[in-house]
Amino acid sequence: MNITLKLYANLSYLLPVHAKHNAVQVDLLEPISIHHLIDLYHVPREQAHLVLVNGVFINPEERDQVDRLKQGDVIAIWPPVAGG
Amino acid sequence: MAWTRKFLRVNLTDGTIKTEALNMDWAREYLGQRGLATRYFVAEVDPKVDALGPDNKLIMTTGPLTGTMASTGGRYSVVTKSPLTGAIACSNSGGFIGAEMKNAGWDMIIFEGKAPSPVYLYVENDHAELVPADDLWGKSVWATDELLHQKYQDPQLRICCVGRSAEAGCLYSAIVNDLHRAAGRSGVGTVMASKNLKAVAVRGTKGVGNIKDPIRFMKTVAEQKKVLADNAVTGAGLPKYGTQVLMNVINEMGALPTRNMREVKFEGAHAVSGEAMHEPRKSDGKPNLTRNAGCFGCTIACGRISTIDRGHFSVETKPEYWGNSGGLEYEAAWALGPDTGVDDLNALTYVNFLCNEDGMDPISYGATVAAAMELYEMGVITQEDTGGIELKFGSAQALVAVTELTAKGEGFGKILGLGSKRMCEKYGHPELSMTVKGQEFPAYDPRGIQGMGLTYATSNRGACHLRSYTVSSEVLGIPFKTDPLATEGKPELVIAFQDATAAVDSSGLCIFTTFAWSLENIAPQIDAACEGDWSVEKCAELGARVWNLERDFNMRAGLTSADDTLPPRLLKDGANTGPAQGKVAGLAEMLPKYYELRGWTTEGQLTPETRARYGLPS
């Protein structure tokens, strides 16, 4: 299963060096939860404040579900940020 | 107390300046800045006044916490009737001039009439004089600032002024202070120029005293500064990425208005994002962003200071633009970038510099260019109109060329200076103007963030994100997360944000504190500084009072509930992609409930009961 992982703002430094535009392609051999995925990239869970899958916000309680990520999904993560 | 309890009244027609005592009964009801100036404005100005006529007034106003040691206590506002919207305008700016005005001993300056020839106001503590400005007229903001600093030989002199766009009648001209902060929206600079008032230069050395309970004030201010420092947004995210961190957020969720709001995602968003501003350039190895910057007393410091690549086509022969200056903030970057389809960070930075240099609101300006680009693609605007410029979506060259014209009010820039609404009407396509009450939208598509649709439609100064920033809740989860695609509960949310914002805007503090603070953190600071009881409840009531007073002015000015609407593109055309695909802005589901909760009639008019509840003038 292929997905795209994007880490933004103060999480950018956790991306591998070959990442482009804050994104990496991730090959998953088996379905994993969002929490499992962000643990693999050493993103502190409390820093994964805004988690969007295909642009839709994922509540913290959904992030342990192993079937939440599907083939081709784009998951984008931010620490607490704001602006305007 | 915190108020200086006095203000200046400057009659530009006859050149007189008077000191008047502040109406403390009004101060106890409307606090300061946005609220108090609005109270003065509605008492003194006929709502049907010609915004660019001598009978309109322009009030520069501070809040009771402006110039104090409270974090972000450097704000000032400009209240007048807007030539862009015909509604009341209140534009807020940081930088240093607000605190300087307070340090000189003034809560407000009311300008009335029109000077027979160009003047500027010079204030040094108790001394205030009008000085001929014929030598400054025709100069940019940056040139004016430099000439006045040279003349007075005082680096601490704080200056706000208008640029050449305002002199040329551009309807969304800003009043720029401290070179690159601005009372930006609704054409307050156009009003200032219409009065032949070029600049206000202020030096104040008195300090801000009159604090009701100084020990309690110092203690609560220190506690609340710690809250800002410990918060991930105000203590880390904003200083590092500024507001520009939102570019990728809003794009990922499919709510980034693109190419005059035809689309909701921009393929070039990353190239003009806050993250991109940190990336080293190939040419010189330096990033666009040099450093962050703070306004007076601010412990957040979200401002951007940037440079343009010297080899970029926009500046390669213009060394005067090679230095550091105010960089891109999110709303400006969006309007100049995704809305015009331009993904060239250097071009956007240059155009943003020009907006500062000649005092144009970059939101209204960028959105107007976007509408012009759509008209050009349709063949309605031609190269004959533009003077040979190929005004295509995505063309950085075209964006740069028309900006240089609009900044000086030349050629096709005269047309762009009309703003999107009047320009689209002129070319027979009013439906392509992405405006409410004649003011251009900022950077959030209301099909993907429903609360912003109601925010825009009901904003007292026309489309604006800073009247109720429900993005905080709907996108960022501050103070709690709501579903951006739902309309249910949004009227309540919008009202809570509108009222809290009006209260903060009346205090002298910056609205960005509310990413970490609520009125629970703000009210104790006001209460320690100002006489009277400033509880959380009273602050919220103050906000509602200000909101209703502004609304009442607009209704008397001739606006109706028919003006509380959105362009047909947002009400009829579904979003083209993303989570909101196929969805339109659900305004009809929210507006009646909003009126009801506000205590207004179904026609959006204040009822006698609502008027009595807030003690509004009849």
B453 & B431 share domain: no
Query: Phi, psi at residue B127, to the nearest 5°?
Result: -85, 125
Q: Could you give the strand order of the β-sheet that contains B6-11, starting from the edge strand earlier in sequence?
A: B16-21, B6-11, B108-112, B58-62, B76-81, B88-93
Best B234, B263, B476 residue to mutate vs chain A (most A CBs within 10 Å): B476
pLDDT of res. B528: 98
Does residue B431 sit in the same domain as residue B376? yes
Q: What one-letter code names the amino acid at B345? A: L
B455 to chain A, minimum CA–CA distance in Å? 14
Instruction: Indicate whether B411 pLDDT > 70.
Output: yes
Q: What average pLDDT does this structure show over B56-74? A: 98
Strand partners, A24: A5
* Residue B227 lies inside a defined structural domain of this protein: no
**∠B526-B528-B531 over CA atoms, to 5°?**
80
Does residue B393 sit in the same domain as residue B472?
no
Q: Are A11 and A43 in contact (CB under 8 A)?
A: yes
Residue B269 within any structural domain of the chain:
yes
Asked, for residue B234, whether it belongs to a domain, the answer is no
Looking at the complex, report in whole angstroms how far the Cα of residue B236 sits from the nearest Cα belonging to chain A: 8
- Domain edge (last residue) among B149, B176, B203: B203
pLDDT at residue B1, as a whole number: 54
3-state secondary structure of B617: coil
Q: Flag whether B115 is in a domain.
A: yes
Which of B151, B185, B203 finishes a domain? B203
Q: In Å, how far are B130, B176, B187, B304 from B98, measured between CA atoms?
A: 19, 12, 19, 20
Asked whether residue B315 falls in the same domain as residue B388, the answer is yes
Q: Which residues pair with B197 in a beta bridge?
A: B119
Question: Given CB atoms, is A20 within the 8 Å cutoff of chain B?
Answer: no
**Tens digit of pLDDT for each residue in B226-272?**
999 999 999 999 999 999 999 999 999 999 999 999 999 999 999 99
Mean local confidence (pLDDT), B497-522:
97
Do residue B52 and residue B166 come from a single domain? yes
Q: Which helix (H) or strand (E) holds B511?
A: none
Print pLDDT tens along chain A (84 aa).
Answer: 999 999 999 999 999 999 999 999 999 999 999 999 999 999 999 999 999 999 999 999 999 999 899 999 999 999 999 988
DSSP E strands, B399-535: 435-436, 439-440
Asked if the structure places residue B82 within a domain, the reply is yes
For residue A78, give the nearest of B249, B331, B469 by CB distance. B249
Which residues does B319 contact at the CB level (< 8 Å), separation at least 6? B310
- Class of residue B480 by CB neighbours under 10 A (exposed 0-12, middle 13-18, buried 19+): exposed
Query: Any CB–CB contact under 8 A between A61 and chain B?
Result: no
Residues B99, B101, B102, CA angle at the centre, nearest 5°?
Answer: 65
Q: How confident is the model at residue B201 (pLDDT cuts 50, 70, 90)?
A: very high
Cis peptide before B479 (omega within 30 of 0): yes
Average predicted confidence (pLDDT) for chain B:
97
Question: Does B44 lie in the same domain as B189?
Answer: yes
Does the pLDDT at position B209 exceed 90?
no
Q: What's residue B618's pLDDT?
A: 81
Q: Is domain A2-78 given the CATH code 3.10.20.30 in the classification? A: yes
Query: Is residue B393 scored above 60 in pLDDT?
Result: yes
Span B434-463, average pLDDT: 98
B222 within domain boundaries? no
Phi, psi of B473 (to 5 degrees): -85, -45
In a shared domain, residues B567 and B420: no
Q: Is residue B187 part of a domain?
A: yes
Same-domain check for residues B411 and B484: no
Which pLDDT belongs to residue B10? 98
Query: Across the strands, what pairs with B177?
Result: B160, B181
- Among residues B177, B203, B229, the one where a domain terminates is B203
Say if residue B152 is in the same domain as residue B264. no
Give pLDDT tens digits for B147-166: 999 999 999 999 999 999 99
Q: Residue B69 has what pLDDT? A: 97
B618 vs B181 pLDDT, higher one: B181
Beta bridge partners of residue B364, listed in sequence order: none
pLDDT bin (cut points 50, 70, 90) of residue B489 is very high
Quote the CA–CA distance of B303 and B359 in Å, as a whole number. Answer: 18
- Looking at residues B579-583, what average pLDDT do you find? 98
Query: Considering only CB atoms, which chain B residues are within 8 Å of A76?
Result: 248, 252
Across B429-443, average pLDDT: 98
User: What average pLDDT does the segment B140-146 reach?
Assistant: 98
Q: Judge whether residue B297 has pLDDT over 60.
A: yes
Contact (CB<8Å) A22/B246:
no
Lowest mean pLDDT among B123-127, B280-284, B363-367: B280-284
Q: Do A76 and B476 touch (CB under 8 A)?
A: no
- pLDDT at res. B244: 97
Domain of B189?
Answer: 6-203
Give the integer Cα–Cα distance in Å for B413 and B400.
Answer: 11
Instruction: Kindly tell me if the per-residue pLDDT of B15 is higher than 80.
Output: yes
Residues B388 and B480 in one domain: no
CATH number for the domain including B583? 1.10.599.10
Looking at the structure, do residues B41 and B137 belong to the same domain, yes or no?
A: yes
Provide the number of structural domains found in chain B: 3
When CB atoms are compared, the residue of B236, B244, B254 closest to A55 is B254
Chain A residue with minimum CA distance to B278: A9
Which CATH number goes with the domain that contains B30?
3.60.9.10
Does residue B332 form part of some domain?
yes
Residue A6 CA to residue A22 CA, distance in Å, equals 5
Query: In this complex, do A84 and B246 lie within 8 Å of one another by their Cβ atoms?
Result: yes
